[in-house]
Amino acid sequence: MKTTLIQVSKSAYSRAKLSDPNNQRCLIENCPETQGVEMAHIFDRDTSWRPSILDSIEWGWKMKKGSLNLDTSRNIVFLGASMHKLYKSWKWTLIPEESIVCQYLHPVWGTPYLRRRFPDIQGQTFRYKFEPIEDIEDIYIARQSTNDALDITIHEYPFEDFPVVTSHVHPKYYVILHLGRLLCGGISASSRRSLLDKYPWLEEVENLYSRWIAMLPDNAEDDATYITPHHQGLESPSVTCHADNDSDSVRTPLRRICNLPPSKGRQSRSSSSSDEHGSDNDVENTRWTKSGIASWAEASVYE
């Protein structure tokens, strides 16, 4: 018997379309929606199967427990079918701007902010760099012009001339999480080394990811800013499990994606971003570096 997550609601899809500055064109190839463009989650929505991971992320991000919805439009982009498949296979990623990553670090100590000082970075759109990871040396990208469908630019590996892309996806939520997951055990050691050689500051992304999925402090369940008191009479944000209850086309419900009841023969995956590496434990398979340990120790003292 297997369980599966509820399907992405029509409202979640509508919110993503409304937020997308590229009008549902493929973020990478820039082809229109009519050419097989698919909805894609940046950070795997199947992480909702791992409540302990979401507990930790919610704590690190100064959120209420049970309120992180991975179907938010800030976690959804549109990709052509081939680019989507390569993304799910961890063949390429998006690199956020270093200045954005630095805003999550203490300006003096360079350590990740703890919960009480977690920054709320605003912005409707953000800029990202397309970066190959591995096994796409023989692939080229045909990027279409927005104004002229016949105007196509061919980009070849290593894609150094590929333009910076703009997206509504928030780096706080998902690009740093996804990239941190890759760096902390999701890709080969040689691919990781290549990324760090090119972008040395990505080690800070590793540190952020390690902090954000770390075990909760012992007193977390006593923190009123984290736990919603039962006496308030509010429905738990993680209880509602029906996609059709999500009828708001503007705001994402503050609740987690839920599992449907177990059923024989049901597919165990319902995500547009499920990776193809076959491991349910890789999210927690973090690599602690010397700087990561030092970061944790310094934050404990100075925060």
pLDDT digits (tens, 9 = 90+) for 217-262: 999 999 999 997 652 434 444 444 544 455 555 566 666 766 665 5
Q: How many CB atoms lie within 10 A of CB 226?
A: 21
| d(C-alpha 59, C-alpha 110), whole Å | 20
| d(C-alpha 11, C-alpha 7), whole Å | 11
Please provide the average confidence, as pLDDT, over all residues in the chain: 82
The pLDDT value given to residue 175: 83
Provide the percentage of residues in the chain whose pLDDT is more than 90: 64
| d(C-alpha 218, C-alpha 27), whole Å | 42
- Please name the amino acid found at residue 167: S
| d(C-alpha 261, C-alpha 288), whole Å | 37
By the 8 A CB rule, do 136 and 92 touch?
A: yes
Q: How many CB atoms lie within 10 A of CB 108?
A: 8
- Of 145, 144, 143, 170, residue with least CA distance to 159: 143
Structure tokens belonging to residue 10? 């029509």
Of 57-71, 171-185, 186-200, 282-296, the poorest mean pLDDT is in: 282-296
The residue extents of the domains of the chain are: 10-302
Please check the confidence at residue 208 and state whether its pLDDT lies above 70.
Answer: yes
Q: What mean pLDDT do residues 58-66 have?
A: 95
| d(C-alpha 204, C-alpha 110), whole Å | 9
SS3 track for the chain: CECCECCCCHHHHHHHHHHCCCCCCCCCCCCCHHHCEEEEECCCHHHHHCHHHHHHHHHHCCCCCCCCCCCCHHHEEEEEHHHHHHHHCCCEEEEECHHHHHCCECCCCCCECCHHHCCCCCCCCEEEEEEECCCCCCCEEEEECCCCCCCEEEEECCCCCCCCEEECCCHHHHHHHHHHHHHHHHCCHHHHHHHHHHCCCHHHHHHHHHHHCCCCCCCHHHCCCCCCCHHHCCCCCCCCCCHHHCCCCCCCCCCCCCECCCECCCCCCCCCCCCCCCCCCHHHCCCCCHHHHHHHHHHHHHC
Q: What mean pLDDT do residues 182-187 have?
A: 92
Provide the percentage of residues in the chain whose pLDDT is more than 70: 73
Please check the confidence at residue 292 and state whether its pLDDT lies above 60.
Answer: no
The pLDDT value given to residue 273: 57
By the 8 A CB rule, do 222 and 228 touch?
A: no
Model-level pTM? 0.79
- Please name the amino acid found at residue 294: A
pLDDT digits (tens, 9 = 90+) for 89-137: 999 999 999 999 999 999 999 999 999 999 999 899 999 999 999 999 9
Please check the confidence at residue 287 and state whether its pLDDT lies above 60.
Answer: no
The pLDDT value given to residue 293: 45
pLDDT digits (tens, 9 = 90+) for 2-12: 457 667 778 88
